[in-house]
């Protein structure tokens, strides 16, 4: 659980090499965090990430768990492995994601299956296993990195937007279901974030960076928000965008 | 399932709460608990997570509306009080003060149960002379994890008795205790109040050669926001129970504590900030007489001033607050000063900072008080950078050979307990002997590693 000054004891990052995930860790790892688990496909790359945190917090124990985000079958075992390593999971940040920008799904329609299993089905399996554990702990917070793309799916990468829309809706309803159990979900909806994943892509309006997202996430966790947007103004923008008639929506230079 | 937090209203978790103080029902509740274990809860006055158990079971023992009356029996000759663990000091005072008996030790609130007072080994303004609560317990009845009920006293089973005193509820559930009460002639306290211009004056007045040992009760309120030459200024109050002839009344022991006002149900976060606290501190300091003043005060006014405001813990808003209490050896007033300066420099005001010189340590391995200075302050939990600031202060305290009070704790790391409590291993061994299967569990125990981790 968290302590009296809002610091969680055990934090797990799924997608241990994600840039936004790392930025969140820099914000939420503070004196008082006992264990940090980095769950990733590439343990060596994740270990590099944890170096500076271990240096800054000598009492912090860092654990690494390898997993394949698209292998839904193995995810339950991964959660068990994390529990074996640290006991309670107080905060789980879900930062793994597949963008596949520019991939030609018209030529490779089956490609959407692997994207859906990383971004959608695998994440549902993960969130159910985490929620089950957190419910039995009487405390726990899942932080899901969703996207504004999930709020109204647009052309360009419809498969990606659809998986985000799916998991976003699932997360909100799961949080509703968990009410009163001590477990909860925070849905994070960033706009365009300049990271290595989006390098080379043309920036959308109101773009932001990983640390700004992290700052908003930190605040969202401590204030027990259900949904946060990064930057915050997107919440109001999308209130309008979401409800625009299709004819106008399609003409927007987005 | 119910959401619980400590008095500081931070770090809520959910547990299965059962309210009972019937030994048979408690035993069944313990047998029926899941692998997250059980902890007893009294009136929830511990500031942090001592009486909550995320995902497990919590047995609420406080029973203030028992139709059969107070579960307590006072021997009018010896002053021995046999009392149920769920009974509050408030009920005990209502029953015993009119008969000329006072609790041997009272913390700053009378709304604590006897069980909680023993488990936290609470102390009061008389610690420098009379020690802590556990030293006045003659015997207690304890329910063990295996369902056995045992009688413990300092003579019959000192190891288990003293492991339970200050043991944070992790050795068993206290069902009853016998307490040696203090005879009094009146319900009034003769109080000397004086203003002290700076921190040096405070330390001097409270040291043993400053005549502090002539007073049964002594405590000093300190202004943490005063800077420069008045840094650490304070108001010292000392006193003892007044004799019958000092009180001009036919009923010198009449006792009528009243809750005067309630805090509003909703208070914005940040109402108590460094500006409002500065104004309050200035007024509080000015209110105290500039010359030493002697007067009679009631028991609630002297011992439990905050109890006058029902649910005063809401004044910090829904962000809650933490209470920071530590102790350092007598010769380390330099560390006290350093801590006060650190908080002051960070602009962290405390609306209640109190300093007290404590007497020698008792036989309980996990009892907090030991010969030295203890400083207690309230801090709003939402302050930015608080975790880092407290980590810095924690190190100052531990490096000076000091430690933190677990009943107040909300944030320290397991290493802080290991460094601060030299007899931790000995206590953990006894705890393990009393609870080999790890039934007693609390959020505090989990965070601090007081009990061996158990896999679900």
Mean pLDDT taken over chain A = 92
Tell me the two tokens of residue B109.
């609130």
C-alpha distances in Å from residue B137, one per residue of A40, A79, B367: 55, 47, 14
Tell me if B261 sits within 8 A of B309, measured CB to CB: yes
Same domain, B306 and B435: no
User: Tell me, what's the pLDDT at B455?
Assistant: 41
Tell me the two tokens of residue A106.
């018209």
Of B157, B183, B209, the position where a domain reaches its end is B183
User: Tell me, what's the pLDDT at B213?
Assistant: 86
User: Tell me, what's the pLDDT at B403?
Assistant: 98
User: Tell me, what's the pLDDT at B456?
Assistant: 38
Residue B450 lies in a domain: no
Residue in chain B nearest A5 by alpha carbon? B381
**Cis amide leading into B41 (omega within 30):** no
pLDDT at B349 over 80: no
B376-405: per-residue pLDDT in tens?
999 999 888 999 999 999 999 999 999 999
Please name which of B71, B365, B355 lies closest in space to residue B221, comparing C-alpha atoms: B355
Give the pairing of strands A35-40 and A61-66: parallel
CB-nearest to B410 from A5, A83, A222 is A5
Q: Does the distance separating the beta carbons of B411 and A3 come in below 8 Å?
A: yes
Same domain, B128 and B172: yes
Same domain, B25 and B120: no
User: Tell me, what's the pLDDT at B66?
Assistant: 64
Min Cα distance A214 → chain B (Å) is 16
Same domain, B57 and B149: no
Tell me the two tokens of residue B285.
């300091």
Q: Does the distance separating the beta carbons of A139 and B54 come in below 8 Å?
A: yes
Q: Which residue has the higher pLDDT, A127 or B318?
A: A127
Q: In 10 A of CB B160, how many CB atoms?
A: 22
Q: Does the distance separating the beta carbons of B413 and A31 come in below 8 Å?
A: yes
User: Tell me, what's the pLDDT at B308?
Assistant: 81
pLDDT average, residue stretch A162-168:
96
Residue in chain A nearest B452 by alpha carbon? A87
Q: In 10 A of CB B116, how many CB atoms?
A: 31
Q: Known catalytic residue: A55? A: no
Same domain, B332 and B244: yes
CATH of domain A10-249: 3.40.50.720
Provide the domain limits for residue B257: 188-414
User: Tell me, what's the pLDDT at B212?
Assistant: 82
A48-69: per-residue pLDDT in tens?
888 889 999 988 999 999 998 8
User: Tell me, what's the pLDDT at B264?
Assistant: 75
Q: Does the distance separating the beta carbons of B410 and A139 come in below 8 Å?
A: no
* Residue B264 burial (10 A CB sphere; 0-12, 13-18, 19+): exposed
Min Cα distance B418 → chain A (Å) is 13
Phi and psi at A115, nearest 5°, equal -65, -45
* Residue B245 burial (10 A CB sphere; 0-12, 13-18, 19+): exposed
Question: Phi-psi category of B336—alpha, beta or left, where left has phi over 0 and alpha has psi -120 to 50?
Answer: alpha
CB contact A31 to B (< 8 Å) = yes
Phi and psi at B417, nearest 5°, equal -75, -40
Highest mean pLDDT among B62-76, B164-178, B214-228, B306-320: B164-178
C-alpha distances in Å from residue A18, one per residue of A15, A38, A51, A197, B374: 5, 10, 15, 9, 46
Mutate one of B269, B270, B411, B442 to test the A interface: name it (highest A CB count within 10 A): B411
Q: Which residue has the higher pLDDT, A99 or A94?
A: A94
Tell me if B316 sits within 8 A of B380, measured CB to CB: yes
Residue B261 lies in a domain: yes
B236-267: per-residue pLDDT in tens?
999 999 999 999 888 999 998 876 677 777 77
A175-224: per-residue pLDDT in tens?
999 999 999 999 999 998 888 777 777 777 788 999 999 999 999 998 89
Domain at B157, CATH number:
3.30.465.10
CB contact A181 to B (< 8 Å) = yes
What's the pTM value of the predicted model, to 2 decimals?
A: 0.93
Residue B343 lies in a domain: yes
Please name which of A204, A7, A12, A32 lies closest in space to residue A96, comparing C-alpha atoms: A12
DSSP characters for B12-44? -EEEEEEE---HHHHHHHHHT--TT-EEEESSS
Q: Does the distance separating the beta carbons of A139 and B387 come in below 8 Å?
A: no
Of B183, B207, B233, the position where a domain reaches its end is B183
pLDDT average, residue stretch B160-184:
98
Phi and psi at A187, nearest 5°, equal -95, 125
CB contact A2 to B (< 8 Å) = yes
- B222-243: b (≥16 Cβ within 10 Å) or e: bbbbbeeeebbbbbbbbbbbbe
Domain boundaries defined on chain A: 10-249
DSSP characters for A95-132? ------TT--TTT-TTHHHHHHIIIIIHHHHHHHHHHH
Domain at B438, CATH number:
3.30.43
**Alpha helix (H) residue ranges in B288-413:** 299-303, 333-345, 386-399
pLDDT average, residue stretch B343-350:
82
Question: Phi-psi category of B347—alpha, beta or left, where left has phi over 0 and alpha has psi -120 to 50?
Answer: left
Same domain, B165 and B263: no
* Residue B438 burial (10 A CB sphere; 0-12, 13-18, 19+): middle
Q: Which of B134-138, B224-228, B300-304, B446-450 has the lowest mean pLDDT?
A: B224-228
Dmax over CA atoms of chain A, in Å, equals 57
Which residues on chain A are in Cβ contact (under 8 Å) with B411? 3-5, 7, 32
pLDDT at A241 over 50: yes
Catalytic residue among A67, A106, A128, A160: A160
Structural domain count, chain B: 3
Tell me if B375 sits within 8 A of B433, measured CB to CB: no
- Rounded to two decimals, the ipTM of the complex is 0.90
Domain at B295, CATH number:
3.40.462.10
Round to whole Å and give the CA distance between A121 and A124: 5
Q: What residues pair up with A183 in beta bridges, in sequence order?
A: A140
Tell me if B44 sits within 8 A of B7, measured CB to CB: yes
Same domain, B207 and B112: no
Min Cα distance B445 → chain A (Å) is 12
Q: Does the distance separating the beta carbons of B54 and A87 come in below 8 Å?
A: no
CB contact A87 to B (< 8 Å) = yes
- A23-53: b (≥16 Cβ within 10 Å) or e: bbbebbbbbbbbbbbbbbeeeeebbebbeeb
Q: Does the distance separating the beta carbons of A1 and B1 come in below 8 Å?
A: no
Residue B116 lies in a domain: yes
Residue in chain A nearest B323 by alpha carbon? A4
Tell me if B430 sits within 8 A of B159, measured CB to CB: yes
Mutate one of A129, A134, A137, A138 to test the B interface: name it (highest B CB count within 10 A): A138
pLDDT at A40 over 80: yes
Residue in chain A nearest B449 by alpha carbon? A34
DSSP 8-state class, residue A194: E
Round to whole Å and give the CA distance between B408 and B145: 25
User: Tell me, what's the pLDDT at B210?
Assistant: 65
Residues 282-301 of B with CB under 8 A from A: none
CB contact A9 to B (< 8 Å) = yes
Q: Does the distance separating the beta carbons of B411 and A7 come in below 8 Å?
A: yes
Confidence tier at B53 by pLDDT (50, 70, 90): very high
Which residues on chain A are in Cβ contact (under 8 Å) with B1? 138, 180-182
B364-377: per-residue pLDDT in tens?
999 999 999 999 99
How many residues in total does chain B contain? 456
CB contact B387 to A (< 8 Å) = yes
Min Cα distance B236 → chain A (Å) is 30
Min Cα distance B309 → chain A (Å) is 23
Which residues on chain A are in Cβ contact (under 8 Å) with B14? 138-139, 180-182
Confidence tier at B425 by pLDDT (50, 70, 90): very high
CB-nearest to A9 from B6, B382, B447 is B447
B57-91: per-residue pLDDT in tens?
999 998 766 666 789 999 999 999 999 999 999 99
Of B149, B183, B217, the position where a domain reaches its end is B183
Residue B92, classed as helix, strand or coil, is: helix
> How many cross-chain Cβ pairs, A to B, lie less than 8 Å apart?
98
Which residues on chain B are in Cβ contact (under 8 Å) with A138? 1, 13-15, 36, 53-56
Please name which of A108, A198, A99, A118 lies closest in space to residue A157, comparing C-alpha atoms: A99
Residue in chain B nearest A138 by alpha carbon? B55
Q: Does the distance separating the beta carbons of A31 and B390 come in below 8 Å?
A: yes
Same domain, B159 and B270: no
Residue B67 lies in a domain: no
Q: What residues pair up with A10 in beta bridges, in sequence order?
A: A35
Q: In 10 A of CB B257, how many CB atoms?
A: 19
Please name which of B129, B52, B110 lies closest in space to residue B369, comparing C-alpha atoms: B129
Tell me the two tokens of residue B23.
């030994």
Confidence tier at B310 by pLDDT (50, 70, 90): confident
A110-138: per-residue pLDDT in tens?
999 999 999 999 999 999 999 999 999 99
């Amino acid at each position: 659980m968290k302590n009296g000054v809002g610091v969680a004891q055990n934090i797990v990052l799924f997608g241990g090499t994600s840039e936004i995930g790392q930025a969140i860790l820099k914000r939420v790892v503070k004196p008082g965090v006992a264990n940090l688990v980095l769950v990733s496909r590439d343990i060596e790359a994740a270990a590099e990430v944890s170096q500076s945190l271990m240096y800054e917090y000598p009492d912090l124990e860092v654990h690494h768990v390898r997993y394949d985000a698209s292998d839904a079958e193995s995810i339950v075992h991964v959660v068990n492995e994390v529990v074996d390593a640290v006991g309670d999971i107080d905060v789980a940040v879900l930062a793994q994601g597949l963008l596949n920008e520019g991939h030609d799904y018209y030529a490779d329609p089956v490609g959407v299956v692997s994207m859906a299993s990383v971004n959608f089905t695998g994440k549902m399996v993960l969130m159910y296993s985490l929620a089950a554990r957190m419910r039995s702990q009487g405390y726990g917070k899942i932080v899901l990195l969703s996207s504004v793309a999930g709020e109204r799916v647009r052309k360009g990468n419809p498969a990606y937007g659809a998986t985000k829309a799916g998991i976003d809706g699932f997360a909100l309803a799961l949080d509703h279901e968990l009410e009163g159990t001590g477990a909860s979900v925070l849905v994070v909806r960033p706009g365009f974030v300049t990271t290595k994943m989006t390098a080379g892509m043309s920036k959308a309006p109101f773009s932001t960076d990983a640390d700004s997202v992290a700052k908003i996430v930190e605040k969202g966790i401590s204030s027990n928000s259900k949904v946060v947007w990064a930057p915050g103004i997107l919440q109001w923008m999308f209130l309008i965008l979401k409800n625009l008639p299709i004819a106008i929506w399609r003409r927007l230079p987005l | 399932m119910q959401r619980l937090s400590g008095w500081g209203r931070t770090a809520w978790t959910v547990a299965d709460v059962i309210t009972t103080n019937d030994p048979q029902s408690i035993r069944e509740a313990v047998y029926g608990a899941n692998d997250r274990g059980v902890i007893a809860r009294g009136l929830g006055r511990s500031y942090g997570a001592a009486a909550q158990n995320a995902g497990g079971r919590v047995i609420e023992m406080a029973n203030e509306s028992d139709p059969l009356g107070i579960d307590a029996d006072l021997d009018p000759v010896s002053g021995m009080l046999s009392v149920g663990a769920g009974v509050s000091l408030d009920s005990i005072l209502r029953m015993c003060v009119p008969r000329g008996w006072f609790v041997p030790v009272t913390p700053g609130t009378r709304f604590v149960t006897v069980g909680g007072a023993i488990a936290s080994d609470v102390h009061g303004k008389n610690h420098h002379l009379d020690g802590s609560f556990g030293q006045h317990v003659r015997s207690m009845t304890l329910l063990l994890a295996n369902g056995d009920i045992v009688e413990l006293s300092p003579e019959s089973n000192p190891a288990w008795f003293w492991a339970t005193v200050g043991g944070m509820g992790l050795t068993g559930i206290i069902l009853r205790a016998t307490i040696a009460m203090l005879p009094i002639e009146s319900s009034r306290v003769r109080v000397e109040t004086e203003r002290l211009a700076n921190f040096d004056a405070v330390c001097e007045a409270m040291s043993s050669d400053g005549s502090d040992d002539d007073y049964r009760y002594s405590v000093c309120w300190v202004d943490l926001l005063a800077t420069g030459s008045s840094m650490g200024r304070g108001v010292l109050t000392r006193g003892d129970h007044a004799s019958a002839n000092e009180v001009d009344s036919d009923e010198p022991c009449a006792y009528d504590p009243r809750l005067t006002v309630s805090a509003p149900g909703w208070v914005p976060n940040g109402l108590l900030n460094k500006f409002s606290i500065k104004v309050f501190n200035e007024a509080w300091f000015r209110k105290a007489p500039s010359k030493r003043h002697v007067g009679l005060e009631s028991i609630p006014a002297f011992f439990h001033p905050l109890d006058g405001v029902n649910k005063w813990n809401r004044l910090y808003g829904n962000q809650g607050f933490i209470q920071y209490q530590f102790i350092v050896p007598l010769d380390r007033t330099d560390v006290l000063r350093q801590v006060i300066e650190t908080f002051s420099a960070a602009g962290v005001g405390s609306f209640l900072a109190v300093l007290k010189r404590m007497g020698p340590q008792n036989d309980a391995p996990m009892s907090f008080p030991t010969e030295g200075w203890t400083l207690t302050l309230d801090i709003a939990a939402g302050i930015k950078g608080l975790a880092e600031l407290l980590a810095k202060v924690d190190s100052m305290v531990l490096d000076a050979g000091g430690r933190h009070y677990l009943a107040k704790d909300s944030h320290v790391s397991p290493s802080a307990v290991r460094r601060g409590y030299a007899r931790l291993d000995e206590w953990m061994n006894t705890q393990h002997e009393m609870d080999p299967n790890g039934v007693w569990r609390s959020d505090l125990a989990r965070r601090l590693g007081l009990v061996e981790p158990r896999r679900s």
